[in-house]
Homo-oligomer: A and B are copies of this chain.
Amino acid sequence: MTLIDRRNHHLFQPLLYEVATAGLSPSEIAFPIRSILRKHRNIRVLLADVTGVDVESGSVSLDDGTALSYDYLVVATGATHSYFGHDGWTRDAPGLKTIEDAIEIRRRILLRFEEAERSIDADERRRLLTFVVIGGGPTGVELAGAIAGIATRTMASDFRSIDPGAARIILVEGSDRLLGSFSPRLSLRAKRQLEKLGVDVRTATMVTDIDASGVETSMGRIDSRCVLWAAGVAASPLGAGLGAETDRTGRVTVGPDLSVAGHPEVFVIGDLAHAVDRGRDVPGVAPAAMQQGTHVAEVILADLGGRRRPAFHYSDKGSLAQVGRTAAVARIGRFEFSGFVAWMLWWSIHIAYLIGFRSRVLVLFGWGWQWLTVQRAARLITRPWSPSSGSGR
């Protein structure tokens, strides 16, 4: 069995916003894949970029020009940001998918406060202390809430010329409510919780342009030196190379057994798959991806045992989104929670799912500490290394 990934680490995505907002260190939520699978002697891990899949001959080509043939292939390369055709916005409004994204966003947020402390131009200072988060899904809500916490709590006594608490955090959402996948009632709760934290929530506001000094929206311009993108998602480009049908966002249509049409040996799971269960689209969330992983294993075992392939059924355990330091919204089955109870639930579940005892203890400790002291542990501004600038700078 061979596992190919272009990163050496498995990333626990739900806590990535904590890295972006200096609360956790990258290594607390990312684990070497090789080390996770160390005891499975029949799994080989390859750090490589897959450049193409030839489903006819049954082989995967890698970036070094070599190819691997397969009997079964499982493609789970997920999703990336979508700027809805405006790829030029990436530079001025980075999204949050990788550790590198998180470190870059952390750098920008922290640097803006530093620059504001130095600036003597009142307008520029206002631009520097205006943070715009685009997209009112869970990531946007989490980012906006965490930045508000940094400004009003973490940084409270750290500056002499500026009042970090005066920073404006603006959350822009195109539709008429936050957290579209939750009920309207919970969306409203999340909005109120954010507003209590000082976040300026602007729904029904479309972004029309982004540049280095701000955002143009359907409701007017917002001047800002720190714009973050949490809006669109597009499927990994590898999906298109499978020769199967894809939907509008590039996701690959799969059958009830999660294989692609005409190729029962090729499975697509996770955010890259467009799966339908009993007439409903399976959502692009981690629990669905995990259930699909287990299901593919069952399908392959059924093949090997000469049994009929079972159909995938998604078991919806609910959804959760954190809103700042003490609140969250949650739906568990038909029950809805918000506030502190939902927040306790959020953290219990996320820590329970973190891989490995060590990280659980570290995150719990680091995070309990942060909660108590309102300090954030990973307030580092780092730069890319280069032969000329790396040394001694």
Interface residues, chain A, with chain B CB atoms under 8 Å away: 6-9, 25-28, 30-32, 34-35, 38-39, 41, 44-48, 64, 79-81, 90-91, 94-95, 97-101, 103-104, 110-111, 114-115, 117-118, 157-161, 236, 358, 361-362, 365-366, 369, 373, 375, 377-385, 387-388, 390-393
Interfacial chain B residues near A157, Cβ < 8 Å: 38-39
Residue of B nearest to A25 (CB): B25
Return A239 CB to nearest CB of chain B, in Å. 13
Interfacial chain B residues near A35, Cβ < 8 Å: 158, 375, 379
CA distance A115 to B62 in the complex (A): 13
User: Which listed residue, B30, B47, B64, B90, touches A387 by the CB 8 Å rule?
Assistant: B90
User: Which listed residue, B8, B26, B387, touches A114 by the CB 8 Å rule?
Assistant: B8
CA distance A39 to B375 in the complex (A): 14
20 A/B residue pairs, CB under 8 Å, sorted by A: A6-B393, A8-B114, A9-B379, A9-B381, A26-B380, A27-B380, A44-B160, A44-B161, A45-B160, A46-B118, A47-B118, A90-B391, A95-B391, A99-B380, A99-B382, A101-B391, A103-B385, A104-B390, A358-B375, A362-B377
Q: A47-B118, A98-B391, A103-B385 are in contact. List 5 more A-B contacts (CB 8 A).
A: A9-B380, A25-B26, A45-B158, A47-B117, A236-B392
CA distance A387 to B38 in the complex (A): 34
Asked if A382 contacts B25 (CB within 8 A), the reply is: no
Residue of B nearest to A357 (CB): B369
Asked if B94 contacts A391 (CB within 8 A), the reply is: yes
Interfacial chain B residues near A236, Cβ < 8 Å: 392
**Which of A32, A47, A80 is most buried by chain B, counting CB atoms within 10 A of its CB?**
A32
Interfacial chain B residues near A25, Cβ < 8 Å: 25-28, 378
CA distance A118 to B47 in the complex (A): 8
Asked if B118 contacts A8 (CB within 8 A), the reply is: no
User: Which listed residue, B8, B158, B390, touches A38 by the CB 8 Å rule?
Assistant: B158
Asked if A362 contacts B366 (CB within 8 A), the reply is: yes
Interfacial chain B residues near A110, Cβ < 8 Å: 8
Interfacial chain B residues near A114, Cβ < 8 Å: 8, 47
Interfacial chain B residues near A9, Cβ < 8 Å: 379-381
Asked if A8 contacts B99 (CB within 8 A), the reply is: no
Asked if B158 contacts A34 (CB within 8 A), the reply is: yes
Residue of B nearest to A229 (CB): B391
Asked if B384 contacts A100 (CB within 8 A), the reply is: yes
Return A302 CB to nearest CB of chain B, in Å. 28
Asked if A358 contacts B381 (CB within 8 A), the reply is: no
With A103-B385, A158-B34, A392-B98 already in contact, the answer to whether A117 and B46 are too (CB < 8 A) is: yes
Residue of B nearest to A78 (CB): B392
Asked if A101 contacts B34 (CB within 8 A), the reply is: no
Residue of B nearest to A236 (CB): B392
CA distance A98 to B392 in the complex (A): 7
CA distance A100 to B382 in the complex (A): 7
User: Which listed residue, B34, B79, B380, touches A392 by the CB 8 Å rule?
Assistant: B79
Return A285 CB to nearest CB of chain B, in Å. 17
CA distance A388 to B90 in the complex (A): 7
Asked if B80 contacts A392 (CB within 8 A), the reply is: yes
Residue of B nearest to A120 (CB): B66
Return A376 CB to nearest CB of chain B, in Å. 9
Interfacial chain B residues near A377, Cβ < 8 Å: 27, 358, 362
Asked if A387 contacts B91 (CB within 8 A), the reply is: yes
Asked if B391 contacts A97 (CB within 8 A), the reply is: yes
